[in-house]
């Protein structure tokens, strides 16, 4: 059943993004920013963790989880190192995602050429 919930949650996030994209003048960058901030807000309210328990991995895939991850990383960094950890704690949990995005983008450039 978790697989169905994951599929429905990710599909709902995509549906909301597509509705916003079709009915406003927002760019995909705006919508991405909205979802990251929404994930952070849901993380502050401890609601995103409840969603993850119900939905499973489907809640960790959309861009909203990136906002929640930034929030959790900065909070744990603050608890460990104080004010400086608030800023440095963000980098630890998201570094794997950022590095993998760079590596996969480089690999894709080896196989595909940009068109004008």
Q: CA-to-CA distance for 8 and 67, rounded, in angstroms?
A: 20
Residue 58: the pLDDT is: 83
pLDDT digits (tens, 9 = 90+) for 26-83: 999 999 999 999 999 999 998 988 998 999 888 888 888 888 888 888 888 899 888 8
* Total count of domains within the chain: 1
**Total residues found in the chain within this entry:** 116
Does 11 fall in a domain? yes
In this prediction, residue 91 has a pLDDT band, given cuts at 50, 70 and 90, of confident
Does 63 fall in a domain? yes
Does 38 fall in a domain? yes
Residue 36: the pLDDT is: 92
Residue 1: the pLDDT is: 85
Does 116 fall in a domain? no
Does 45 fall in a domain? yes
On whether the CB atoms of residues 71 and 44 are closer than 8 A, the answer is yes
Break the chain down into helix, strand, coil percent, rounded to 5: 85, 0, 15
Could you tell me the residue range of the domain that residue 84 belongs to?
2-111
Does 43 fall in a domain? yes
In this prediction, residue 17 has a pLDDT band, given cuts at 50, 70 and 90, of very high
pTM of the model: 0.78
């Amino acid at each position: 059943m978790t697989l169905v919930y994951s599929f429905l949650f990710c599909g709902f996030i995509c549906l909301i993004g597509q509705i916003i994209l079709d009915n406003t003048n927002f760019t995909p960058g705006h919508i991405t920013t909205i979802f990251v901030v929404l994930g952070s807000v849901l993380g502050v309210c401890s609601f995103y963790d409840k969603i993850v328990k119900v939905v499973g991995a489907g809640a960790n895939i959309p861009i909203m989880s990136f906002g929640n991850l930034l929030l959790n990383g900065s909070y744990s960094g603050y608890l460990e190192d104080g004010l400086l950890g608030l800023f440095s704690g963000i980098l630890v949990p998201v570094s794997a995602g950022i590095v993998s995005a760079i590596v996969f983008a480089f690999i894709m450039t080896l196989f595909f050429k940009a068109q004008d």
